[in-house]
């Protein structure tokens, strides 16, 4: 499908950076991630330097190199030349066989059916693969990454295996047999990613705690109450609580819109955990005791009553949206907040009144905004 060294990505159908990053990440997931040179074909729309830089960093994050950019826009050419990347003007009819062409948006569609068959055919005993399948099946955006040739797909799996087994050994006891596949997925994800999660918790508002005889000194961070930005009567009297957090070096922030989206079409019940290294969309309710962790954004098409942690690698620009926001705790990046005590009704009455709300970080505090409100 593609040459050994070069990989042409046709982005002529995309005009915004968001679209490009989305389709590019899809296309790059099908590659063997070893030093491929990318030839990026753009249309005549203008991209500034920061946009080009983010595209370039996405490509390097997949282990590839942005080799050449093809564009017709004069301004974009200048930007690209400033970045010391060679520019090509598009040739009307390409007869050159050294490059092979993939149109990232169209070429995936015919494969989406067969990829599901592929998944079903390949039954592996290792349970993290099973849980991967469960996730991929529900994940419309991700499915194309399986349309790759068999080798490519295997590679995809082995990467995940390494990722999980590294943490798997020390956290989950080997004799633990969990019959439920979903529960299985939870624990693995928890095990693998919770450790990273904790790295990012404490950054700001550090204050020294008094020494006690038995316990060592720890850093403190406040856990505040989340408030409605538009509600004048928002609960203000509630005192801020000091909660001890473990201080560990944080990872670099991750840009959320470069991430894929996982769709989950079910109700999350108590004890179930969804982990994702992209965005998460849940079509259903999230009951108290459930937990969602995502590097990107979290969207709940229903009532969110569990714990939601968006941008858990320290991305404070991540957002949490829900048709009805009743989350026990909201965590965005390294900010924490909890539900006001007055609303401590475990299962909120399922009334028909829904106020879609979005949680964002404003000045280090998590605030709720009405979804159509402009801010």
Partner 1 sequence: MTGSVIVITSGKGGVGKTTTSANIGTALARLGNKVVLIDTDIGLRNLDLLLGLENRIVYTIVDVVEERCKLKQALVKDKKNPNLCLLAAAQTRDKSAVDAQQLKDICDQLKEEFDYVLVDCPAGIEQGFQNAVAGANEAIVVTTPEMSAIRDADRIIGLLESKEGVEKYRLLVNRVRPKLIKNNDMMGVDDVVDILSCDLIGVIPEDTNIITSTNKGEPVVNDEKSLAGQAYMNVARRITGEEVPLLDIDEPDTIIDKIKKFFSKKAQG
List of residues contacting partner 1 (CB under 8 A): 171, 173, 176, 186-187, 190, 194-195, 198, 212, 214-216, 218, 223, 241, 243-246, 270-273, 288-289, 291, 328-329, 336, 338-339, 341, 344-346
Q: Measured from the CB atom, is 1 or 198 closer to partner 1? A: 198
Tell me the closest approach of the beta carbon of residue 306 to partner 1, in angstroms: 9
Tell me the closest approach of the beta carbon of residue 78 to partner 1, in angstroms: 50
Q: Pick the closest to residue 36 from 73, 57, 64, 8 (CA basis).
A: 64
Q: Measured from the CB atom, is 125 or 212 closer to partner 1? A: 212
SS3 state at 18: helix
Tell me the closest approach of the beta carbon of residue 359 to partner 1, in angstroms: 15
Q: State the residue for tokens 């705690």.
A: 209
Q: Pick the closest to residue 223 from 144, 326, 337 (CA basis).
A: 337
Reading the block at residue 229, the tokens are 């930005």
Q: Measured from the CB atom, is 40 or 282 closer to partner 1? A: 282
> Where on the phi/psi map is residue 35: left (φ > 0), alpha (ψ -120 to 50), or beta?
left
- Four-residue CA torsion sign, 314, 317, 318, 320: positive
HSE of 287 in the Cβ direction (CA atoms, 13 Å)? 8
Tell me the closest approach of the beta carbon of residue 127 to partner 1, in angstroms: 16
Q: Measured from the CB atom, is 46 or 347 closer to partner 1? A: 347
Q: Measured from the CB atom, is 56 or 272 closer to partner 1? A: 272
Tell me the closest approach of the beta carbon of residue 354 to partner 1, in angstroms: 21
What DSSP state is assigned to residue 65?
A: E
Tell me the closest approach of the beta carbon of residue 228 to partner 1, in angstroms: 16
Q: Measured from the CB atom, is 156 or 186 closer to partner 1? A: 186
Reading the block at residue 300, the tokens are 């709940």
What DSSP state is assigned to residue 197?
A: H
Alpha helices in 62-172 (DSSP H): 74-82, 112-121, 127-137, 150-171
Q: Measured from the CB atom, is 150 or 212 closer to partner 1? A: 212
Tell me the closest approach of the beta carbon of residue 71 to partner 1, in angstroms: 48
What string of H, E and C letters represents the secondary structure of 272-313?
Answer: CEEEECCEEEEECCECCCCEEEECCCEEEEEEECCEEEECCC
């Amino acid at each position: 499908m593609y040459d050994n060294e070069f990989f042409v990505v046709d982005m002529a159908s995309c005009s915004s950076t968001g679209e490009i990053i989305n389709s590019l990440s899809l296309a790059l997931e099908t590659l063997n991630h070893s030093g491929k040179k990318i030839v990026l074909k753009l249309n005549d729309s203008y991209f500034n330097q920061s946009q080009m830089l983010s595209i370039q960093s996405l490509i390097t994050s997949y282990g590839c190199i942005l080799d050449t950019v093809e564009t017709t826009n004069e301004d974009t050419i200048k930007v690209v030349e400033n970045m010391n990347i060679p520019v090509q003007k598009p040739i009307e009819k390409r007869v050159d066989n050294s490059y092979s062409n993939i149109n990232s948006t169209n070429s995936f569609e015919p494969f989406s059916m067969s990829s599901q068959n592929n998944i079903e055919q390949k039954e592996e005993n290792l349970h993290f693969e099973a849980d991967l399948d469960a996730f991929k099946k529900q994940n419309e955006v991700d499915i194309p990454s399986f349309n790759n040739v068999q080798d490519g797909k295997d590679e995809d799996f082995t990467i995940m295996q390494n990722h999980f087994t590294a943490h798997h050994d020390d956290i989950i006891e080997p004799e633990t047999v969990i019959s439920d596949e979903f529960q299985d997925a939870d624990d693995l994800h928890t095990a693998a990613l919770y450790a990273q999660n904790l790295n990012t918790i404490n950054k700001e508002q550090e204050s020294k705690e008094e020494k006690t005889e038995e316990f060592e000194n720890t850093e403190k961070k406040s856990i505040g109450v989340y408030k409605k930005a538009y509600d004048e009567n928002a609960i203000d009297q509630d005192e801020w609580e000091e909660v001890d957090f473990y201080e560990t070096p944080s990872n670099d922030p991750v840009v959320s819109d470069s991430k894929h989206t996982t769709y989950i079409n079910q109700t999350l019940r108590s004890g179930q955990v969804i982990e994702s290294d992209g965005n998460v969309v849940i079509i259903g309710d999230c009951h108290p005791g459930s937990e969602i962790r995502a590097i990107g954004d979290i969207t709940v098409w229903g009532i969110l009553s569990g714990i939601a942690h968006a941008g858990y690698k320290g991305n404070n620009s991540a957002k949490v949206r829900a048709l009805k926001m009743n989350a026990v705790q909201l965590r965005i990046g390294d900010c924490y907040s909890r539900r006001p005590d007055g609303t401590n009704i475990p299962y909120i009455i399922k009334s028909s009144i829904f106020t879609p709300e979005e949680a964002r970080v404003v000045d280090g505090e998590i605030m709720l905004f009405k979804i159509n409100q402009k801010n």
